[in-house]
Protein backbone atom coordinates (compact mmCIF):
# COMPACT_ATOMS: atom_id res chain seq x y z
CA UNK A 1 0.00 0.00 0.00
CA UNK A 2 1.29 3.40 -0.86
CA UNK A 3 1.16 6.59 1.11
CA UNK A 4 -2.27 7.31 2.56
CA UNK A 5 -3.67 10.58 1.27
CA UNK A 6 -4.37 13.06 4.03
CA UNK A 7 -8.13 13.05 3.70
CA UNK A 8 -8.79 9.80 1.88
CA UNK A 9 -10.89 7.29 3.83
CA UNK A 10 -9.42 3.79 4.09
CA UNK A 11 -10.78 0.45 5.24
CA UNK A 12 -9.25 -0.32 8.62
CA UNK A 13 -9.55 -3.54 10.63
CA UNK A 14 -9.59 -3.28 14.42
CA UNK A 15 -9.42 -5.89 17.16
CA UNK A 16 -10.30 -6.03 20.83
CA UNK A 17 -9.86 -8.68 23.50
CA UNK A 18 -11.16 -7.28 26.75
CA UNK A 19 -10.64 -7.89 30.44
CA UNK A 20 -13.55 -10.32 30.57
CA UNK A 21 -11.32 -12.75 28.59
CA UNK A 22 -14.26 -14.06 26.59
CA UNK A 23 -12.76 -13.81 23.13
CA UNK A 24 -11.63 -11.63 20.23
CA UNK A 25 -13.74 -9.07 18.39
CA UNK A 26 -12.76 -7.88 14.89
CA UNK A 27 -14.47 -5.18 12.88
CA UNK A 28 -13.81 -3.04 9.82
CA UNK A 29 -14.71 0.61 9.31
CA UNK A 30 -14.16 3.12 6.54
CA UNK A 31 -12.51 6.19 8.07
CA UNK A 32 -10.01 8.96 7.52
CA UNK A 33 -9.14 8.98 11.22
CA UNK A 34 -11.54 11.85 11.92
CA UNK A 35 -14.90 10.87 10.47
CA UNK A 36 -16.55 7.47 10.18
CA UNK A 37 -17.95 6.94 6.68
CA UNK A 38 -19.15 3.35 6.79
CA UNK A 39 -19.18 0.15 8.81
CA UNK A 40 -17.82 -3.07 7.34
CA UNK A 41 -17.99 -6.71 8.36
CA UNK A 42 -17.31 -7.93 11.87
CA UNK A 43 -16.76 -11.26 13.59
CA UNK A 44 -16.13 -12.79 16.99
CA UNK A 45 -13.96 -15.73 18.05
CA UNK A 46 -14.44 -17.01 21.60
CA UNK A 47 -11.46 -18.20 23.56
CA UNK A 48 -11.68 -21.89 24.36
CA UNK A 49 -11.74 -22.94 28.00
CA UNK A 50 -8.10 -24.08 27.72
CA UNK A 51 -7.12 -20.72 26.23
CA UNK A 52 -8.93 -18.89 29.00
CA UNK A 53 -7.03 -20.91 31.60
CA UNK A 54 -3.72 -19.80 30.05
CA UNK A 55 -4.84 -16.16 29.92
CA UNK A 56 -6.24 -16.09 33.45
CA UNK A 57 -2.98 -17.58 34.75
CA UNK A 58 -1.11 -14.64 33.20
CA UNK A 59 -3.33 -11.86 34.57
CA UNK A 60 -1.29 -9.41 36.61
CA UNK A 61 2.00 -10.52 35.06
CA UNK A 62 4.59 -8.36 33.33
CA UNK A 63 6.87 -9.04 30.37
CA UNK A 64 9.36 -11.77 31.09
CA UNK A 65 7.33 -13.51 33.78
CA UNK A 66 6.63 -17.24 33.43
CA UNK A 67 3.38 -17.81 31.58
CA UNK A 68 3.44 -14.56 29.58
CA UNK A 69 4.89 -16.12 26.42
CA UNK A 70 2.20 -18.80 26.52
CA UNK A 71 -0.47 -16.12 26.88
CA UNK A 72 1.02 -14.14 23.99
CA UNK A 73 0.90 -17.25 21.79
CA UNK A 74 -2.79 -17.75 22.59
CA UNK A 75 -3.57 -14.11 21.83
CA UNK A 76 -1.60 -14.01 18.58
CA UNK A 77 -2.97 -17.26 17.19
CA UNK A 78 -6.57 -16.44 18.09
CA UNK A 79 -6.27 -13.02 16.47
CA UNK A 80 -4.60 -14.40 13.36
CA UNK A 81 -7.29 -17.03 12.92
CA UNK A 82 -9.97 -14.36 12.98
CA UNK A 83 -8.23 -11.50 11.16
CA UNK A 84 -7.16 -13.69 8.25
CA UNK A 85 -10.84 -14.08 7.33
CA UNK A 86 -11.17 -10.37 6.50
CA UNK A 87 -10.45 -9.03 3.03
CA UNK A 88 -9.80 -5.51 1.84
CA UNK A 89 -8.26 -3.98 4.97
CA UNK A 90 -5.49 -1.48 4.36
CA UNK A 91 -4.32 -1.12 7.95
CA UNK A 92 -4.87 -3.02 11.20
CA UNK A 93 -5.31 -1.81 14.77
CA UNK A 94 -4.27 -4.57 17.21
CA UNK A 95 -5.00 -3.92 20.88
CA UNK A 96 -3.64 -7.15 22.31
CA UNK A 97 -4.67 -8.59 25.68
CA UNK A 98 -4.19 -6.48 28.80
CA UNK A 99 -2.47 -8.55 31.47
CA UNK A 100 -1.43 -5.79 33.86
CA UNK A 101 -2.16 -2.09 34.17
CA UNK A 102 -0.32 0.07 36.73
CA UNK A 103 0.06 3.50 35.12
CA UNK A 104 1.66 5.13 38.17
CA UNK A 105 3.95 2.17 38.77
CA UNK A 106 5.23 -0.36 36.28
CA UNK A 107 3.19 0.94 33.36
CA UNK A 108 0.82 -1.08 31.22
CA UNK A 109 1.16 -4.49 29.60
CA UNK A 110 -0.80 -5.68 26.59
CA UNK A 111 0.55 -8.99 25.33
CA UNK A 112 0.74 -9.92 21.65
CA UNK A 113 3.35 -8.96 19.05
CA UNK A 114 2.31 -6.56 16.29
CA UNK A 115 5.48 -7.36 14.30
CA UNK A 116 4.43 -10.99 14.04
CA UNK A 117 0.93 -10.05 12.93
CA UNK A 118 2.17 -7.55 10.34
CA UNK A 119 4.28 -10.20 8.64
CA UNK A 120 1.60 -12.90 8.91
CA UNK A 121 -1.12 -10.63 7.49
CA UNK A 122 1.13 -8.72 5.08
CA UNK A 123 -0.43 -5.50 6.35
CA UNK A 124 0.75 -2.59 8.49
CA UNK A 125 -0.29 -3.17 12.09
CA UNK A 126 -0.62 -0.43 14.69
CA UNK A 127 -0.27 -1.76 18.23
CA UNK A 128 0.93 -0.95 21.77
CA UNK A 129 -1.53 1.93 21.86
CA UNK A 130 -1.25 2.69 25.58
CA UNK A 131 2.45 2.82 26.50
CA UNK A 132 3.26 6.27 25.12
CA UNK A 133 0.35 7.84 26.98
CA UNK A 134 1.49 6.21 30.23
CA UNK A 135 5.10 7.31 29.71
CA UNK A 136 3.88 10.89 29.31
CA UNK A 137 1.93 10.81 32.56
CA UNK A 138 -1.43 9.54 31.35
CA UNK A 139 -3.48 6.62 32.64
CA UNK A 140 -3.29 4.84 29.28
CA UNK A 141 -7.04 4.28 29.39
CA UNK A 142 -9.72 4.56 28.24
CA UNK A 143 -8.83 4.89 24.54
CA UNK A 144 -12.24 4.52 22.88
CA UNK A 145 -13.43 8.09 23.69
CA UNK A 146 -12.08 9.72 20.52
CA UNK A 147 -14.00 7.11 18.53
CA UNK A 148 -17.11 7.76 20.61
CA UNK A 149 -16.79 11.40 19.59
CA UNK A 150 -16.73 10.41 15.92
CA UNK A 151 -19.75 8.15 16.44
CA UNK A 152 -21.71 10.93 18.13
CA UNK A 153 -21.17 13.08 15.09
CA UNK A 154 -22.06 10.23 12.73
CA UNK A 155 -25.42 9.63 14.44
CA UNK A 156 -26.16 13.35 14.35
CA UNK A 157 -26.15 14.00 18.10
CA UNK A 158 -26.76 17.67 18.95
CA UNK A 159 -26.58 17.61 22.75
CA UNK A 160 -24.12 16.07 25.21
CA UNK A 161 -24.37 12.28 25.40
CA UNK A 162 -22.68 9.53 27.39
CA UNK A 163 -21.30 6.28 26.00
CA UNK A 164 -21.04 3.66 28.72
CA UNK A 165 -19.02 0.54 27.97
CA UNK A 166 -19.75 -2.46 30.18
CA UNK A 167 -16.92 -4.94 29.78
CA UNK A 168 -14.91 -6.48 32.59
CA UNK A 169 -14.46 -2.91 33.79
CA UNK A 170 -16.89 -0.07 33.05
CA UNK A 171 -15.77 3.10 31.34
CA UNK A 172 -17.76 6.14 30.34
CA UNK A 173 -17.29 8.89 27.78
CA UNK A 174 -19.20 12.15 28.22
CA UNK A 175 -18.95 14.30 25.12
CA UNK A 176 -20.28 17.43 23.48
CA UNK A 177 -20.77 16.70 19.77
CA UNK A 178 -20.84 20.40 18.95
CA UNK A 179 -17.09 20.64 19.54
CA UNK A 180 -14.96 20.48 16.40
CA UNK A 181 -12.29 18.05 17.67
CA UNK A 182 -12.27 15.56 20.55
CA UNK A 183 -9.13 17.08 22.04
CA UNK A 184 -10.70 20.55 22.27
CA UNK A 185 -11.22 21.83 25.83
CA UNK A 186 -14.66 20.86 27.10
CA UNK A 187 -15.33 18.44 24.23
CA UNK A 188 -14.93 15.23 26.17
CA UNK A 189 -14.43 13.63 29.57
CA UNK A 190 -13.70 9.92 29.93
CA UNK A 191 -12.72 7.56 32.72
CA UNK A 192 -13.20 4.12 34.21
CA UNK A 193 -16.16 4.24 36.59
CA UNK A 194 -15.43 0.94 38.35
CA UNK A 195 -15.93 -2.78 37.84
CA UNK A 196 -18.64 -4.04 35.50
CA UNK A 197 -18.99 -7.71 34.54
CA UNK A 198 -15.69 -9.05 35.89
CA UNK A 199 -16.74 -9.56 39.55
CA UNK A 200 -19.94 -11.41 38.59
CA UNK A 201 -18.09 -13.49 35.98
CA UNK A 202 -15.52 -14.44 38.62
CA UNK A 203 -18.30 -15.30 41.07
CA UNK A 204 -20.08 -17.52 38.54
CA UNK A 205 -16.87 -19.32 37.68
CA UNK A 206 -15.95 -19.89 41.33
CA UNK A 207 -19.42 -21.05 42.42
CA UNK A 208 -20.74 -22.86 39.36
CA UNK A 209 -17.96 -23.21 36.80
CA UNK A 210 -19.93 -20.94 34.45
CA UNK A 211 -18.47 -17.99 32.50
CA UNK A 212 -21.21 -15.48 33.37
CA UNK A 213 -24.69 -14.91 34.78
CA UNK A 214 -26.47 -15.34 31.47
CA UNK A 215 -29.15 -12.62 31.04
CA UNK A 216 -28.97 -11.96 34.79
CA UNK A 217 -30.92 -15.14 35.52
CA UNK A 218 -29.28 -15.69 38.91
CA UNK A 219 -29.10 -12.03 39.95
CA UNK A 220 -32.78 -11.63 39.11
CA UNK A 221 -33.63 -13.91 42.04
CA UNK A 222 -31.40 -12.13 44.56
CA UNK A 223 -31.67 -8.94 46.57
CA UNK A 224 -29.32 -5.98 46.89
CA UNK A 225 -27.48 -5.55 50.18
CA UNK A 226 -27.39 -1.75 50.13
CA UNK A 227 -25.10 -1.47 53.17
CA UNK A 228 -22.43 -3.41 51.28
CA UNK A 229 -22.92 -1.20 48.21
CA UNK A 230 -22.41 1.87 50.39
CA UNK A 231 -19.29 0.31 51.90
CA UNK A 232 -17.93 -0.45 48.43
CA UNK A 233 -18.39 3.20 47.41
CA UNK A 234 -16.06 4.23 50.25
CA UNK A 235 -13.10 2.97 48.20
CA UNK A 236 -10.52 5.70 47.61
CA UNK A 237 -10.86 5.26 43.83
CA UNK A 238 -14.27 6.90 43.84
CA UNK A 239 -12.84 10.04 45.45
CA UNK A 240 -10.31 10.54 42.66
CA UNK A 241 -11.06 13.27 40.16
CA UNK A 242 -11.22 11.92 36.60
CA UNK A 243 -9.74 11.08 34.23
CA UNK A 244 -8.70 7.86 35.96
CA UNK A 245 -8.36 4.18 35.10
CA UNK A 246 -8.79 0.94 36.98
CA UNK A 247 -7.08 -2.43 36.79
CA UNK A 248 -9.47 -5.38 36.45
CA UNK A 249 -8.87 -6.68 39.98
CA UNK A 250 -7.93 -3.45 41.74
CA UNK A 251 -11.08 -3.31 43.88
CA UNK A 252 -11.52 -7.06 44.38
CA UNK A 253 -10.68 -6.90 48.09
CA UNK A 254 -13.52 -4.41 48.55
CA UNK A 255 -15.97 -6.99 47.24
CA UNK A 256 -14.94 -9.91 49.46
CA UNK A 257 -17.87 -9.58 51.86
CA UNK A 258 -20.29 -9.52 48.94
CA UNK A 259 -18.83 -12.63 47.31
CA UNK A 260 -19.51 -14.53 50.56
CA UNK A 261 -23.26 -13.87 50.32
CA UNK A 262 -25.65 -16.48 48.92
CA UNK A 263 -24.93 -16.63 45.19
CA UNK A 264 -28.06 -14.82 43.96
CA UNK A 265 -27.67 -11.99 46.48
CA UNK A 266 -23.97 -11.74 45.67
CA UNK A 267 -24.60 -11.43 41.93
CA UNK A 268 -27.37 -8.87 42.39
CA UNK A 269 -25.29 -6.81 44.81
CA UNK A 270 -22.24 -6.89 42.57
CA UNK A 271 -24.31 -5.52 39.67
CA UNK A 272 -25.69 -2.88 42.04
CA UNK A 273 -22.13 -1.89 43.02
CA UNK A 274 -21.15 -1.51 39.38
CA UNK A 275 -24.23 0.61 38.63
CA UNK A 276 -23.75 2.73 41.75
CA UNK A 277 -20.15 3.37 40.71
CA UNK A 278 -21.38 4.66 37.33
CA UNK A 279 -23.82 6.99 39.09
CA UNK A 280 -21.04 8.23 41.35
CA UNK A 281 -18.88 8.89 38.30
CA UNK A 282 -21.66 10.81 36.54
CA UNK A 283 -21.39 13.50 39.21
CA UNK A 284 -18.18 14.59 37.51
CA UNK A 285 -19.85 15.34 34.15
CA UNK A 286 -19.83 19.01 33.01
CA UNK A 287 -23.55 18.71 32.19
CA UNK A 288 -26.16 15.93 32.32
CA UNK A 289 -26.13 13.81 29.14
CA UNK A 290 -29.20 13.96 26.89
CA UNK A 291 -28.99 10.17 26.56
CA UNK A 292 -27.04 7.19 27.85
CA UNK A 293 -25.89 4.74 25.17
CA UNK A 294 -24.53 1.44 26.47
CA UNK A 295 -22.13 -0.87 24.66
CA UNK A 296 -20.24 -3.99 25.72
CA UNK A 297 -21.58 -7.28 26.97
CA UNK A 298 -23.28 -5.83 30.04
CA UNK A 299 -25.98 -4.22 27.94
CA UNK A 300 -27.50 -7.67 27.36
CA UNK A 301 -28.07 -8.12 31.09
CA UNK A 302 -31.52 -6.79 32.10
CA UNK A 303 -30.61 -6.74 35.80
CA UNK A 304 -27.52 -4.62 35.16
CA UNK A 305 -29.45 -2.26 32.87
CA UNK A 306 -32.29 -1.92 35.39
CA UNK A 307 -29.85 -1.11 38.20
CA UNK A 308 -28.26 1.56 36.00
CA UNK A 309 -31.61 3.13 35.14
CA UNK A 310 -32.64 3.30 38.80
CA UNK A 311 -29.35 4.69 40.07
CA UNK A 312 -28.84 7.16 37.23
CA UNK A 313 -32.48 8.33 37.27
CA UNK A 314 -32.31 8.27 33.48
CA UNK A 315 -33.25 6.19 30.47
CA UNK A 316 -30.41 3.80 29.67
CA UNK A 317 -30.38 2.38 26.14
CA UNK A 318 -28.19 -0.09 24.27
CA UNK A 319 -26.30 1.65 21.46
CA UNK A 320 -28.39 -0.31 18.97
CA UNK A 321 -31.09 2.29 19.72
CA UNK A 322 -28.83 4.71 17.81
CA UNK A 323 -28.13 2.24 14.98
CA UNK A 324 -24.73 1.13 16.29
CA UNK A 325 -23.24 -2.30 17.05
CA UNK A 326 -22.57 -2.51 20.77
CA UNK A 327 -20.55 -5.72 20.48
CA UNK A 328 -18.04 -4.19 18.09
CA UNK A 329 -17.54 -0.58 19.14
CA UNK A 330 -14.21 -1.21 20.87
CA UNK A 331 -12.86 -3.25 17.95
CA UNK A 332 -14.01 -0.49 15.61
CA UNK A 333 -12.33 2.03 17.90
CA UNK A 334 -8.93 0.44 17.40
CA UNK A 335 -9.43 0.46 13.64
CA UNK A 336 -10.17 4.18 13.93
CA UNK A 337 -7.22 4.80 16.25
CA UNK A 338 -4.88 2.91 13.92
CA UNK A 339 -5.65 5.40 11.14
CA UNK A 340 -5.17 8.30 13.56
CA UNK A 341 -1.75 6.95 14.57
CA UNK A 342 -0.76 6.51 10.93
CA UNK A 343 -1.76 10.10 10.21
CA UNK A 344 -0.07 11.61 13.24
CA UNK A 345 -3.32 12.57 14.97
CA UNK A 346 -3.72 12.38 18.76
CA UNK A 347 -5.38 9.36 20.32
CA UNK A 348 -5.72 10.68 23.87
CA UNK A 349 -5.76 14.02 25.68
CA UNK A 350 -5.85 15.43 29.23
CA UNK A 351 -9.61 14.89 29.54
CA UNK A 352 -9.51 11.21 28.55
CA UNK A 353 -6.39 9.79 30.23
CA UNK A 354 -4.92 12.68 32.23
CA UNK A 355 -1.91 12.90 29.93
CA UNK A 356 -0.25 16.32 29.99
CA UNK A 357 -1.22 17.22 26.41
CA UNK A 358 -2.93 15.62 23.42
CA UNK A 359 -0.73 12.74 22.30
CA UNK A 360 -0.73 10.03 19.65
CA UNK A 361 0.14 6.56 20.92
CA UNK A 362 0.90 3.31 19.20
CA UNK A 363 3.71 1.97 17.06
CA UNK A 364 3.44 0.82 13.47
CA UNK A 365 4.88 -2.50 12.35
CA UNK A 366 5.07 -3.02 8.60
CA UNK A 367 5.57 -6.14 6.53
CA UNK A 368 8.69 -6.26 4.38
CA UNK A 369 7.20 -3.78 1.93
CA UNK A 370 4.23 -1.51 2.15
CA UNK A 371 2.90 1.05 4.50
CA UNK A 372 4.61 4.43 4.53
CA UNK A 373 2.34 7.08 6.00
DSSP secondary structure string for all residues of 116-129 = HHHHHHTS-EEE--
Q: How far is residue 280's CA from residue 276's CA, in Å, rounded to a whole number?
A: 6
| Coil vs helix vs strand at 217 | coil
Mean pLDDT value of segment 112-128: 96
Quote the CA–CA distance of 83 and 105 in Å, as a whole number. Answer: 33
Q: Report d(CA 154, CA 159) in Å as an integer.
A: 13
The CATH number of the domain covering residues in 10-140+333-352+359-365: 3.30.420.40
The mean of the pLDDT values for the chain is 94
User: Is 113 a residue whose pLDDT tops 50?
Assistant: yes
Positive or negative torsion for Cα 76, 79, 82, 84: negative
- Which residues are CB-neighbours of 55 under 8 A, at least 6 positions away? 21, 47, 71, 74, 75, 97
- Counting DSSP H helices and E strands in the chain, the numbers are 12, 13
* Phi, psi for residue 98 in degrees, rounded to 5: -70, 125
Highest mean pLDDT among 5-19, 246-260, 311-325: 311-325
Query: Cα(248)–Cα(108) distance, rounded to whole angstroms?
Result: 12
pLDDT at 373: 41
What's the whole-model pTM score?
0.91
pLDDT of residue 97 exceeding 90, the answer is yes
- Under a CB-based contact definition with an 8 Å cutoff, are residues 332 and 298 in contact? no
Q: What local confidence, expressed as pLDDT, does residue 6 receive?
A: 56
DSSP string for 271-332:
HHHHHHHHHHHHTT-SS--S-EEEESGGGG-HHHHHHHHHHHTS-EEEGGGGT--TTTHHHH
Who's near 134: CB < 8 A, 6+ residues apart? 103, 107, 108, 140
pLDDT digits (tens, 9 = 90+) for 42-80: 999 999 999 999 999 999 999 999 999 999 999 999 999
Architecture of the domain whose range is 156-322: 2-Layer Sandwich (3.30)
- Distance set, CA 28 to CA 121, 231, 325, 370 (Å): 15, 43, 12, 20
Answer yes or no: same fold for 10-140+333-352+359-365 and 156-322: yes
Q: pLDDT tens for residues 159-173?
A: 999 999 998 899 999
CB-facing half-sphere around the CA of 79: CA atoms within 13 A: 30
Is the omega angle on the peptide bond into residue 191 within 30 degrees of 0, that is, cis?
no
Query: Quick one: pLDDT at residue 355?
Result: 94
Q: Which residue, among 203, 185, 165, has the nearest Cα to 316 in the 3D structure?
A: 165
Domain boundaries, the chain: 10-140+333-352+359-365, 156-322
Which DSSP letter does residue 184 get?
Answer: S
| Cis ω before 301 (30° cut-off from 0) | no
pLDDT in tens, 317-352: 999 999 999 989 999 999 999 999 999 999 999 999
Distance CA 217, CA 12 (A): 38
pLDDT in tens, 197-235: 999 999 999 999 999 999 999 999 999 999 999 999 999
User: Is the per-residue pLDDT at 128 higher than 90?
Assistant: yes
Nearest-angstrom CA–CA distance, 235 and 43:
38
Amino acid sequence: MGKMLKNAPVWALGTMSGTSLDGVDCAMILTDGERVFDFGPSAYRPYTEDEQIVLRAALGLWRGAPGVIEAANVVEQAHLQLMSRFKGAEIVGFHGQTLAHDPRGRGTHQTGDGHLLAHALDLPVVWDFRSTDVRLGGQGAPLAPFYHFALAQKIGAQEPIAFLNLGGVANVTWLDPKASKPQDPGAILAFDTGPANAPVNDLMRARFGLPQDEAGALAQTGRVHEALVAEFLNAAYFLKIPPKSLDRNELSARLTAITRLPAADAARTLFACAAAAVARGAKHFPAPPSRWLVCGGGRHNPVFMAELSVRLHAKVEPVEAAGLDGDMIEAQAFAYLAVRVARGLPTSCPATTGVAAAVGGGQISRPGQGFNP
